[in-house]
């Protein structure tokens, strides 16, 4: 199974503080390759121009929200294998179900702990290893 240090992460959030927090937590987990995007549109552009292994995305963002980004990733043959972990303040059940049905690899509600993020990332990586 891949280690976090082997993977390149893309953190997508319109709040720079939250990007920094998620990036900091990923770094503590050993994820040394990590880039940031401020909305779905910027993220999609980066995903199509660079190689990423894992996306951690907010939902409520300007230009292109997290759901639209998720659908665009899953509709793109070159990107659809990249796992997308949603990290969001949206706590409505219908949003969670929609994210799962749209192909999200995991869903975390804010505020969250380092342990929760670590657990979800590990779980997703285990699933990836099992299906590889």
Partner 1 sequence: MTLEAPRSGATAAESDGPAADVFVQVGTLTRQLHDALRQLGVMPHLQRAADGLPDARSRLGYIADKTASAAEKVLDSVDQAKADHAHIARQTRALAKALTADPVRAVASGAVLNFVDDVEASTARIDQHLTDIMLAQDFHDLTGQVVAKVVDLANDLEVSLVKLLVQVVPPQQQHKLQEVVLHGPVVDPEGRTDVVANQEQVDDLLASLGF
For the sheet with 33-37, list strands across it. 33-37, 8-12, 54-57, 84-88, 106-109
80, 100, 126, 129: which one contacts partner 1 (CB under 8 A)? Answer: 100
Q: How far apart are CA 62 and CA 68, in angstroms?
A: 11
Kind plus residue range of the DSSP H or E element containing 99? helix 93-101
Site string for partner 1, 58-87 (x = CB under 8 A): --x---------------------------
- Under rule CB under 8 A, residue 116 binds partner 1: yes
- Under rule CB under 8 A, residue 114 binds partner 1: no
1, 75, 78, 97: which one contacts partner 1 (CB under 8 A)? Answer: 97
Question: Please, how many CA atoms are within 13 Å of residue 55, restricted to the half-sphere of its CB?
Answer: 36
- Under rule CB under 8 A, residue 130 binds partner 1: no
Question: Please, how many CA atoms are within 13 Å of residue 3, restricted to the half-sphere of its CB?
Answer: 8
Closer CB to partner 1, residue 54 or residue 107? Answer: 107
Residues that bind partner 1 (CB under 8 A): 16-17, 20-21, 24, 60, 89-97, 100, 107-110, 112, 116
């Amino acid at each position: 199974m891949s280690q976090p240090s082997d993977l390149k992460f893309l953190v997508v959030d319109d709040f720079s503080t939250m990007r920094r927090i998620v990036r900091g937590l990923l770094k503590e987990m050993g994820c040394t390759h990590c880039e940031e995007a401020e909305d779905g549109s910027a993220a999609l552009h980066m995903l199509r121009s660079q190689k990423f292994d894992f996306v951690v995305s907010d939902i409520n963002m300007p230009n292109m929200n997290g759901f639209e980004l998720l659908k665009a990733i899953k509709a793109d043959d070159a990107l659809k294998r990249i796992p997308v972990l949603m990290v969001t303040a949206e706590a409505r059940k219908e949003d969670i179900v929609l994210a799962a049905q749209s192909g999200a690899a995991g869903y975390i509600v804010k505020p969250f702990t380092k342990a929760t993020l670590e657990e979800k990332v590990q779980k997703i990586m285990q699933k990836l290893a099992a299906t590889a």
